[in-house]
Structure formats: structure tokens, C-alpha cells
Amino acid sequence: MHYAPLNLPFSTADAEAPQITLANDRARISYRDWQEKLVELLFHDVVAISWDVGDAALSADHRDDRAYIVHDSPWLARHREAGTIMPNEVRQHFLLAFNAVGVLQVLASSLEIVAAPATGPL
């Protein structure tokens, strides 16, 4: 298992705990970042979601304030073995670490950024 950082235009560092809404195989995640600006994400074709409070899901292999794609994920493999995810279905293991607040993990086909703070002039 290894963690590949997602290069997202926003941060999970020092953010508040996210609000999580599940409906129609989608997970809507919204939170305020360290500058109190709204971040809203939408995960599509969700088959599993996990929220761990505090440091329970942290690893020495990744930072506690970033977002990642987890490659060679045992969690994803278990879902494939159980038939929750068919062989032809594309799913990824997303991990968003919110410092000591908690860790969000989602098995989904994709991540859409609905709202994010402006990153400044291009």
C-alpha cells in the first residue's frame, strides 16, 4: 500500500470536521478551511465511507493534513473480493486527513470539486 498525494487547490490542514451527506451513491463533503472558506466535494459511485475521529487512521506513511489516493489498498481489495465492486468497475481509495480532527476515507469512482477557495490570480 502506498499513498499518492492529490494535488488539490485547497487544504484539509487546520480545517474543521467535515459534514458528510450520503444520497444516491454520492457522498457530499463540506467543511470550512483554515481561513473559514467553504470547501465542498462530491464523491461519485460511493461503495464505502469511513470517518475516524482523531489519529486512529493516521499512518507514518502519510501526513496528517493532506489528501491522498491510496494505491494497493487492502480496503479496496476486500470490497472486490466480497463482490461489492465488480471487476470491470473503476473505484479508487481516497483519504483526506484533517490533522487531529479525523480522517475521511472513501471508495468511489471519482472526486468532484464543487466549491473551493480561490487560489489567487493565475
- Residue 108 carries which side chain, given as an amino acid letter? A
Tell me: the pLDDT tens digits for 98-120? Answer: 887 889 999 999 999 998 876 54
d(CA 53, CA 101): 6
Q: Which three cell numbers stand for residue 105?
A: 476515507
For the sheet containing 110-115, what is the strand order?
A: 19-23, 26-32, 38-44, 110-115
Q: Which three cell numbers stand for residue 35?
A: 481561513
Taking the whole predicted model, whether its pTM rises above 0.95 is answered as no
Tell me: the pLDDT tens digits for 11-53? Answer: 888 888 999 999 999 999 999 988 889 999 999 999 999 998 8
